[in-house]
Amino acid sequence: MGNDIFELNNRHSNLTNHLKFEGDGRGNWVTNGKPADQFTSCIDIDIPLTPFTNSLPINRLKLRQGEGQEIQVIYLDLLQNEVKPVRQKYTRLSKSEYQYQNVPNEFEARIEVDELGLVVDYPELFVRLAQIKTD
C-alpha cells in the first residue's frame, strides 16, 4: 500500500498555515517531512470545521449495528491552531445513525449518515440541505 498524502492550507486571523501529512494507512505518519511519532496508530484525521472527516472512520470501520470501536485520530483544530492526537469512539446505533464520542467523554453527538456513509445531520453543527444523486 502506498502513502496517502494530505495537505492543508488555511488562513485564520491573518495567519496562514500549511500542513502536509503523509501516512502509510497503518498509523505511521510524516508531517512536513519529519517523522511524527505522536500520531502513531492514528489512521484517520478529524477537522472539526467539516463533518466529512467523520465519514472517513464511519466508512472504514464498517461497524455492525450495536457495535462500537475506539480509535485514535489526528485532530486538526484550525481555529485554535492546534494539531494533536485524540481518542474517539463510534458506535453504530442503526443503519443510518452513529453515536460519536470524544474519549474521555468531553463531547458526544448522534450523527446521521446516508447510504454512502456521508454525514447528513450532525446536530447543532451541520445539516446537508441537498440530496446527492447516485445515478
The separation between the first and the last C-alpha atoms of the chain, rounded to the nearest angstrom, is 30
User: What is the tens place of the pLDDT at every residue in 83-93?
Assistant: 999 999 999 99
Say if residue 35 is exposed, middle or buried (CB neighbours under 10 Å; 0-12, 13-18, 19+).
Answer: exposed
User: What is the tens place of the pLDDT at every residue in 44-76?
Assistant: 999 988 899 999 999 999 999 999 999 999 999
Cβ atoms of 80 and 97 closer than 8 Å = no
pLDDT-derived band at 19, boundaries 50, 70, 90: confident
Arithmetic mean of pLDDT, 101-122: 92
Cβ atoms of 87 and 27 closer than 8 Å = no
pLDDT score recorded for residue 17: 79
CA-closest candidate to residue 87, choices 62, 99, 66, 104: 104
pLDDT-derived band at 1, boundaries 50, 70, 90: very low
Percent of the chain predicted with pLDDT > 90: 62
Domain boundaries, the chain: 4-127
Q: Is the pLDDT of residue 130 over 60?
A: yes
CA-closest candidate to residue 41, choices 76, 2, 73: 73
The cell numbers describing 65, all together, are 449495528
CA distance 103 to 91: 13
